Amino acid sequence: MRFANQAMSTVLTEKFEIIALNGTISTMGVHLHIAVSDREGKTIGGHLDYECIIYTTAEIVIGVSKEFTFNRTFDRQTGYTNFL
């Protein structure tokens, strides 16, 4: 998981429950945010990074839209490539 305003990701080794997962999946890339809670209910969130392992199950619903197309463009003000 990569936390806000951090260049590097943090590897979490505990067992967590996925509380929320949202973002975009497109031909331009994947940008997902995740919130997880530990066994005491403490919740943390950040950017979902590559190579995450699901311990038991993840019930994920993906919505598809023919009406909208998501593209990334460079934002000079922030210096980031953002989805539109």
Residue 21 lies in a domain: yes
Q: Which domain holds residue 50?
A: 17-83
More confident residue, 40 or 75: 40
Residue 39 lies in a domain: yes
Question: Based on the number of CB atoms within 10 Å of its own CB, is 48 exposed (0-12), middle (13-18) or buried (19 or more)?
Answer: buried
Q: How confident is the model at residue 19 (pLDDT cuts 50, 70, 90)?
A: very high
Residue 79 lies in a domain: yes
Residue 65 lies in a domain: yes
Residue 7 lies in a domain: no
Domain count, the chain: 1
Q: Which of 24, 9, 28, 27 is nearest to 73 (CA)?
A: 28
Query: Does 84 score more than 70 pLDDT?
Result: no
Distance CA(8)–CA(57), nearest Å, equals 27
Residue 5 lies in a domain: no
Per-residue pLDDT at 65: 84
- What does the block give as tokens for 12? 């979490």
Strand positions, DSSP E, the chain = 17-26, 29-37, 43-47, 72-75, 80-83
Mean pLDDT of 26-44: 91
